[in-house]
Structure 1
């Protein structure tokens, strides 16, 4: 865990963002956008996941992300954690609360994503996708709800989902389950005044696309460009703001019209 101090720390609410291990990722953009919008931000990362993926690890990302957030006046707490561990949620919140204060906004941007289909997905891979994308998200939402102390109407939960299916079965199925959990939270946490929404950002250029995929996405997107991490981060920041407080229980497609 790493802690860095920023400026103008009075009255800054605290957000917890999961999955911010790569500079090119959506979660990193969310951290910086929230920091710029006046939040202190705790974030999780898990380097071993990136090490086994085609894009590889980004060893300087966490330090750089913290430094950039501090430049926006934020305090940060970076927590390395394997979200497939069912016992990790409480420790994450304890660290963020100790270093930054009570969490007002929970942004679930982590994922396990390994391409495979109906016939070639292994049981181990299927279970890991659900452990990370679904079970961990439920446990983090539950921990957040049990600890939430904010004023009615100030709490926020935002999860990042996907409509991937063909050739990406365990990822798409586990994200579909995440949708249901998030939308349930909008009702079940109503007594706390917490909003809960899911965002489907569509294909986003974070370094995973081949040239062929980029061409196909460009042809299919009415606005004629690839999605950028900042596009999703802008919507997350709005949903977390007072101005986004009337949006609740929604699955939002913020994808340039490709859906």
Structure 2
């Protein structure tokens, strides 16, 4: 990977140690990028994968690569969240150069169990949430 020193990356959906978001954060940090990431504990707890104090531990790990890091707990399905995210990242680490939209909404379903609410939730997070 090209050296990313002086770049700032935002990575969404970084909530547990074995996830794609965590791997992405660590890869970008190893390449020299500062990392600002989001997480959302209520979903992780509901899905039985909440790791207490994980965001702070990940921040420490990222900083060990001699880059800066910060995070915010944020529900990206809320209309104002993209602006909240960009403002928080700007205030903490400066202007972001890289965006990795890793946060998603998904539930096990089939054509028999699919509901309008499931479709609305999917659209809100996976489509509208990334547009800001």
Judge same fold: TM > 0.5, yes or no: yes
Alignment match, 2:50: 57
Cα displacement string for residues 9-34 of structure 1 (whole angstroms, at most 9, x for unaligned residues): xx521000000011110001111111
Cα displacement string for residues 178-211 of structure 1 (whole angstroms, at most 9, x for unaligned residues): xxxxxxxxxxxxxxxxxxxxxxxxxxxxxxxxxx
Alignment match, 1:171: none
Q: Does 1:42 align with 2:54?
A: no
Q: Does 1:118 align with 2:129?
A: no
Partner of 2:117: helix, strand, or coil? helix
Q: Does 1:108 align with 2:101?
A: yes
Give 1 or 2 for the bigger CA radius of gyration.
Answer: 1
**How far is 1:56 from its partner?**
2.5
Structure 1 runs (4+) deviating above 6 angstroms are: none
Q: For 1:163-178, what aligned pairs fall within 5 Å after superposition? A: none
**How far is 1:60 from its partner?**
2.6
**How far is 1:122 from its partner?**
2.0
Alignment match, 1:189: none
Alignment match, 1:134: 127
RMSD: 1.1
* Structure 2 CA distance for aligned equivalents of residues 106 and 67 of structure 1: 21
Q: Does 1:74 align with 2:67?
A: yes
Partner of 2:96: helix, strand, or coil? coil
The count of corresponding residues between Structure 1 and Structure 2 is 128
* Structure 2 CA distance for aligned equivalents of residues 48 and 133 of structure 1: 17
Q: For 1:176-255, what aligned pairs fall within 5 Å after superposition? A: none
Partner of 2:57: helix, strand, or coil? helix
Alignment match, 1:86: 79
**How far is 1:107 from its partner?**
0.4
Cα displacement string for residues 102-151 of structure 1 (whole angstroms, at most 9, x for unaligned residues): 11000011111111011201222221111111110122xxxxxxxxxxxx
Q: Does 1:22 align with 2:24?
A: no
* Structure 1 CA distance for aligned equivalents of residues 113 and 22 of structure 2: 32
With CA pairs under 8 Å and 6+ residues apart, which has the higher RCO, 1 or 2? 2
Partner of 2:38: helix, strand, or coil? strand
- Residue ranges of structure 1 left out of the alignment (5+ in a row): 1-10, 140-259
User: What TM-score, normalized to structure 1?
Assistant: 0.48
